[in-house]
Amino acid sequence: MLAFPDVLIVDFETYRAMCAHALGSFPLEACGLLAGSPATDGGPAVARWFAPCANDAASSKVYTLNPSDHLRAERRAEDEGLEILGVVHSHTHTEPYPSPTDVAQAPDPQWHYLIISLRDDEPVVRSWRIVNGDVAEEPIVVSGASAR
């Protein structure tokens, strides 16, 4: 099992934007990219913003990031001196755990893979690291204004 001692810090507005995109895309899976500052020896990764992307798969079971949306997010992050930290997608009817498809398609071992489950009344968000098929959960800390 992988061990990642760091947490992922996500500001409240970014967290809210991710959940709103997931809810707004239902019954299809939503997807998007998370940008911010990667973890350093002295601190955790910090997500600064969420870029919603079209799901080119138009499916309730899988997602494919729209390449133009992905490129726009990459350019914005670069312009702001940030990095793409990972991908966010929703599971419309299952728990927020990476499916075999999610694991097989995980493109970058440095990325954070956030999954928003819409199975229950309220969205449930969990973050994962996926390296060579191994999956490890990492804590998420939502900073800023408290949930209302």
State yes or no: pLDDT of 12 exceeds 70: yes
Neighbours of 81 (CB within 10 A): 7
Residue 86 is predicted with a pLDDT of 96
Q: Is 0.85 topped by the overall pTM?
A: yes
Helix (H/G/I), strand (E/B), else coil: 28? coil
Question: How is 42-64 classified by DSSP, letter by letter?
Answer: TB-EEEEEEEEE-BTT--SS---
Residue 145 is predicted with a pLDDT of 62
Neighbours of 101 (CB within 10 A): 11
Q: Rg (Cα) of the chain, in Å, rounded?
A: 14
**Domains of the chain, earliest start first:** 8-143 (3.40.140.10)
Q: How confident is residue 7, by pLDDT bands cut at 50, 70 and 90? A: confident
Block residue for tokens 């990325």: 111
Q: How confident is residue 146, by pLDDT bands cut at 50, 70 and 90? A: low
8 Å CB contact between 31 and 59: no
8 Å CB contact between 39 and 6: yes
Instruction: Please write the tens of the pLDDT for every residue from 47-98.
Output: 999 999 999 999 999 999 999 999 999 999 999 999 999 999 999 999 999 9
